Chains A and B, each alone.
Chain A
């Protein structure tokens, strides 16, 4: 019998309490599902608030500034103030915009960003749905975010937005391929696409040790997937103003922003799960380890953003197809041969 710890224990206690008040066990299940959904949405919105503050503090640290330090102790409430400001802003729609597409784009972008959280193993057994195609589900869901960018770019009736939208499609499609291929090596090693199995397989050796090339390819492609510097061509502030987001204001713009940070968290979580051993770690509870590793990955992504210049669109494409894709393919071949040799000798 495995010892029950961490987040799963909290869920068990909650389930016990609910069992006292609700007669039907089915009702308890429904309530627990709602609580889980609520927890995931809380995590997403809290993430955005925390990450915006972190991003500003990290950039300040790298640029030898103090960053936000006025609202709340140490500026911690700055993001809250920003949120309030965004909610109070006027909602402007440009003349000649394609109304429904324009309204739908930010919502459709946010849905896949939130949906991928379903398969994240925050702790041992603390996973909303431990699908047997967990990682496949993540890839399928996250690739849905290509279309809303193009929708926003097209519907805005702005040339900068359109150029940005076109860039997004080109960039995200070409970086999806090496990303999937880099993940394939992990799936081969773990022999499963189920998140909990992948993490359990890393109990002794993290996959970053066995798959260093895949890790590098994954981190680069993930940065491109979430459109962060040096792959932030979608927004490319100094070139195309803000790309697809140029015409959005207030809460609609905030939804893009929320999705961006939810995606940042998502790719960091996947990196942690696939390469850094997930919740595995000595002494501390699993979920603490998990969030420490995710935090480390997020810092890495922020580090990239605040030190690298932006690539040019043609360089971006040729780097993706001519360097990353062969590298990822090579990694799969080497992994396959390695596995064969390992099995042969043992």
Chain B
């Protein structure tokens, strides 16, 4: 009798398309995936533990290092959590600046998603194009805070500095050019027959299952569940803007891709509205140098590009957090990988990984 057996393939931690140092242990039957177990921890830095020996303000730069392609969102989530504990009122102008920066960062993050998806599927031109547009956004951040990736721009009580005079014209130029850029990406990638057939009906996650696992962000909305924290529990001043939440129907890779592409359009619209409404004024409230939040605990979450980013802080009334936990959407979204990959081929694992868009800096906190 002829007998076949499955074999184990270690995809990563050194692999071109695991987006950092993820190891996926694939059990393969020929090219068909029987099991895909993600092994994490290669980038663990103990950030949550570090928080316990830092003052509240000292921890802000650490949040930059979590999801390092959307650091503005990480800053915002942490600062709003601490502000909620202490009860700090943020000036109007700072609120608008926060919205502009986080939404721009969402666009930048989704552009990276688009680029890395393209190169994972073998279309390297898509990546170059995505990074080209992202560069424009990074230039804007550079103007505002002097950093391109780890900003620490959003602080307790506002933002670190007001924007320079050349920022708004540059931002307006970007917003004018952006629809044409997006259109070009749709022509290059969305309209491509091969890309469509690679993504359509691969890695399907039903809405019910997505909720059970705790998927959030575009990965959840692609499965048809209308859950966006900006709409459900508007934090900051999100209730003042008119935007829609794109939803998918099937929950396959294609929906996850389209949802993100549409979100970029919505984010650009939010930035345009914020730019019109933004008042003059100060960008920083008066906040004591060393914060001592009252003893107790607080949880606050925001809608980051990858999903619900939550900070849970326990304070004992001292200068350091007693315990700090970060609900990292990348980590939780990655848990669905095994289910989504079963029965697919090796090439699809890469597509599922890319469309779940987990970022290793955030998976290993």
Listed in ascending order, the chain A residues whose CB lies under 8 Å from chain B are 59, 62-65, 159-160, 163, 167, 229-230, 232-233, 236-241, 306-315
Q: Does B285 contact A (CB under 8 A)?
A: no
Q: Is the CB of A238 within 8 A of B121?
A: yes
Could you say which residues of chain A place their CB within 8 Å of the CB of B346? 163, 239-240
- In the bound complex, what is the Cα–Cα distance between A237 and B198 (angstroms)? 16
Q: Does B192 contact A (CB under 8 A)?
A: yes
From A315, which residue of chain B is reached at the shortest CB distance?
B197
Q: Does B277 contact A (CB under 8 A)?
A: no
Q: Does B125 contact A (CB under 8 A)?
A: yes
A310-B347, A312-B347 given. 8 additional CB < 8 A pairs?
Answer: A59-B125, A65-B128, A229-B123, A238-B16, A309-B118, A311-B194, A313-B347, A314-B345
Could you say which residues of chain A place their CB within 8 Å of the CB of B244? none
Q: Is the CB of A306 within 8 A of B124?
A: yes
Q: Is the CB of B122 within 8 A of A241?
A: no
19 contacts between A and B (CB under 8 A): A64-B129, A159-B9, A163-B31, A230-B122, A233-B347, A237-B16, A238-B119, A238-B122, A240-B346, A307-B188, A309-B192, A309-B194, A309-B198, A312-B197, A312-B198, A312-B347, A312-B348, A313-B345, A313-B347
Could you say which residues of chain B place their CB within 8 Å of the CB of A312? 197-198, 345, 347-348
Q: How far is the CB of B120 from chain A (nearest CB, A)?
A: 5
Residue from B16, B125, B132 within 8 A of A307 (CB atoms): B125
From A238, which residue of chain B is reached at the shortest CB distance?
B17
Could you say which residues of chain A place their CB within 8 Å of the CB of B348? 312
From B353, which residue of chain A is reached at the shortest CB distance?
A238
Q: How far is the CB of B253 from chain A (nearest CB, A)?
A: 12
Q: Is the CB of B128 within 8 A of A308?
A: no
Could you say which residues of chain A place their CB within 8 Å of the CB of B118? 309
Could you say which residues of chain A place their CB within 8 Å of the CB of B132? 64
Q: How far is the CB of A64 from chain B (nearest CB, A)?
A: 7
Listed in ascending order, the chain B residues whose CB lies under 8 Å from chain A are 7, 9, 15-17, 31, 118-126, 128-129, 132, 188-189, 192, 194-195, 197-198, 345-350
Q: How far is the CB of B23 from chain A (nearest CB, A)?
A: 14
Q: Is the CB of A63 within 8 A of B128?
A: yes
From A232, which residue of chain B is reached at the shortest CB distance?
B122
Residue from A63, A236, A306 within 8 A of B347 (CB atoms): A236
Could you say which residues of chain A place their CB within 8 Å of the CB of B350? 238-239
Could you say which residues of chain B place their CB within 8 Å of the CB of A309? 118, 121-123, 126, 189, 192, 194-195, 198
- In the bound complex, what is the Cα–Cα distance between A238 and B188 (angstroms)? 19
From B119, which residue of chain A is reached at the shortest CB distance?
A238
Q: How far is the CB of A229 from chain B (nearest CB, A)?
A: 6
- In the bound complex, what is the Cα–Cα distance between A239 and B9 (angstroms)? 12
Could you say which residues of chain B place their CB within 8 Å of the CB of A64? 128-129, 132
Could you say which residues of chain B place their CB within 8 Å of the CB of A237? 16-17, 122
Q: How far is the CB of A124 from chain B (nearest CB, A)?
A: 39
The CB with the most chain B CB atoms within 10 A, among A160, A240, A309, A315, is that of: A309
From A306, which residue of chain B is reached at the shortest CB distance?
B125
Q: Is the CB of A310 within 8 A of B122?
A: yes
Residue from A163, A241, A314 within 8 A of B16 (CB atoms): A241
- In the bound complex, what is the Cα–Cα distance between A237 and B346 (angstroms)? 12
Q: How far is the CB of A20 from chain B (nearest CB, A)?
A: 55
From A233, which residue of chain B is reached at the shortest CB distance?
B347
The CB with the most chain B CB atoms within 10 A, among A233, A236, A239, A313, is that of: A239
Could you say which residues of chain A place their CB within 8 Å of the CB of B31? 163, 167, 313
- In the bound complex, what is the Cα–Cα distance between A267 and B345 (angstroms)? 30
Could you say which residues of chain B place their CB within 8 Å of the CB of A229? 122-123
- In the bound complex, what is the Cα–Cα distance between A310 and B192 (angstroms)? 11
- In the bound complex, what is the Cα–Cα distance between A311 and B128 (angstroms)? 20
Nearest 9 pairs of A and B residues by beta carbon? A310-B122, A63-B128, A309-B121, A238-B17, A309-B123, A238-B120, A312-B347, A309-B195, A309-B194
Q: How far is the CB of A161 from chain B (nearest CB, A)?
A: 12
- In the bound complex, what is the Cα–Cα distance between A64 and B129 (angstroms)? 8
Q: How far is the CB of A316 from chain B (nearest CB, A)?
A: 10
Q: How far is the CB of B12 from chain A (nearest CB, A)?
A: 11
Q: Is the CB of A63 within 8 A of B125?
A: yes
From A237, which residue of chain B is reached at the shortest CB distance?
B16
- In the bound complex, what is the Cα–Cα distance between A314 and B348 (angstroms)? 11
- In the bound complex, what is the Cα–Cα distance between A287 and B346 (angstroms)? 45
Q: Is the CB of A239 within 8 A of B17?
A: yes
- In the bound complex, what is the Cα–Cα distance between A306 and B127 (angstroms)? 11
Q: Is the CB of A230 within 8 A of B194?
A: yes
- In the bound complex, what is the Cα–Cα distance between A64 and B132 (angstroms)? 9
Q: How far is the CB of A281 from chain B (nearest CB, A)?
A: 32
- In the bound complex, what is the Cα–Cα distance between A40 and B305 (angstroms)? 56
Q: How far is the CB of A134 from chain B (nearest CB, A)?
A: 34
- In the bound complex, what is the Cα–Cα distance between A310 and B350 (angstroms)? 12
Q: How far is the CB of A22 from chain B (nearest CB, A)?
A: 54
- In the bound complex, what is the Cα–Cα distance between A309 and B345 (angstroms)? 16
- In the bound complex, what is the Cα–Cα distance between A306 and B123 (angstroms)? 6
Q: How far is the CB of A228 from chain B (nearest CB, A)?
A: 11
Could you say which residues of chain A place their CB within 8 Å of the CB of B126? 309
Q: How far is the CB of A178 from chain B (nearest CB, A)?
A: 18
Could you say which residues of chain A place their CB within 8 Å of the CB of B120? 238
Could you say which residues of chain B place their CB within 8 Å of the CB of A159? 7, 9
Q: How far is the CB of A222 from chain B (nearest CB, A)?
A: 17
Could you say which residues of chain A place their CB within 8 Å of the CB of B195? 309
- In the bound complex, what is the Cα–Cα distance between A240 and B18 (angstroms)? 12
Q: Is the CB of A241 within 8 A of B15?
A: yes
- In the bound complex, what is the Cα–Cα distance between A238 and B122 (angstroms)? 7
From B8, which residue of chain A is reached at the shortest CB distance?
A159
Q: How far is the CB of A219 from chain B (nearest CB, A)?
A: 16
- In the bound complex, what is the Cα–Cα distance between A341 and B197 (angstroms)? 41
Residue from A62, A238, A240, A310 within 8 A of B125 (CB atoms): A62
Could you say which residues of chain A place their CB within 8 Å of the CB of B123? 229, 307-310
Q: How far is the CB of A262 from chain B (nearest CB, A)?
A: 23
- In the bound complex, what is the Cα–Cα distance between A312 and B345 (angstroms)? 8
- In the bound complex, what is the Cα–Cα distance between A236 and B11 (angstroms)? 14
Could you say which residues of chain A place their CB within 8 Å of the CB of B129? 63-64
Q: Is the CB of B188 within 8 A of A239?
A: no
From B188, which residue of chain A is reached at the shortest CB distance?
A307
- In the bound complex, what is the Cα–Cα distance between A232 and B347 (angstroms)? 12
Q: How far is the CB of A237 from chain B (nearest CB, A)?
A: 5
Q: How far is the CB of B251 from chain A (nearest CB, A)?
A: 19
